[in-house]
Structures are given as structure tokens and as C-alpha cells.
Amino acid sequence: MELEIFFEDKLKVNAKIGDQIVRTDQPVRGGGDGSAPAPFDLFLASIGTCAGIYVKGFCMQRGIPTDKIKIIQQHNFNPVTRLIDKIDLQIVLPDDFPEKYKTAVIKSADQCAVKKHMLNPPQFSISTT
């Protein structure tokens, strides 16, 4: 897979993925226009949305409605390392969610490919041409 990263005015940096554009910007306090999520915010959102697609697929396969399900993602920022050192995902289920599937829906979210890549990070190579 290849992504093309390109620049617009001010601090807008975008990614072309196939025929789609993922737009990013910096918040106003960081010198941007705040017109799109910051790249790091998209990274964090990819974790929760990845878990979400597994939860949604699990429910769809079983005919369980997903309109009342949501995932709350929280981050613990370590001020010493200046990195996030813990990410919590809480799957909020409606009262009528089948009890027999509660453990299984957690296991489905745990299959997230983004999380798996974070646990086994790829090597990076940066060069110029």
C-alpha cells in the first residue's frame, strides 16, 4: 500500500489513499486553522475506530443492533516520558445487550489491527530522493 502525503497552506498536511483524501491540520493554539484533526489525533482515533469496526462486525454477524453501542477511549499521558503510556477502551453496551456475548465483544475489539501493530511496531526507514 502506498500513501501520498502532500501539503496545503499553513500547517495542513494531507494523505491521499487511493481516491480518498485524509485531511489534517494543527489546532489554532498550535499555529494551524483547526480545520481538521491533527495527525496525532487521527492516530489515536484509528485505535478506537479499529476496535469499533470489530465490535460492529461481531454484532452485525449476530443481528445485534449497534445504534446504542459506543466506545469511550481514554488516554493516560505520562508527563515524564511525554508519551501516552496507557489507552483504555470502554465498550458501552445498552441494557438489552445479550449477556452471553459481553466477554466475546471485548475479545472482538481486542482483535484491532492497529493495536496489534502497536504491540509489534514496524521498522521505519526515512530517505530523500
Q: What is the pLDDT along the chain (129 residues), one digit of tens a residue?
A: 899 999 999 999 999 999 999 999 999 999 999 999 999 999 999 999 999 999 999 999 999 999 999 999 999 999 999 999 999 999 999 999 999 999 999 999 999 999 999 999 999 999 999
SS3 label, residue 113 = helix
Supply the pTM of this predicted model.
Answer: 0.90
- Domain 38-119 in CATH: superfamily? K homology (KH) domain (3.30.300.20)
d(CA 66, CA 63): 9
Question: In this structure, how many other beta carbons lie within 10 angstroms of the beta carbon of residue 58?
Answer: 19
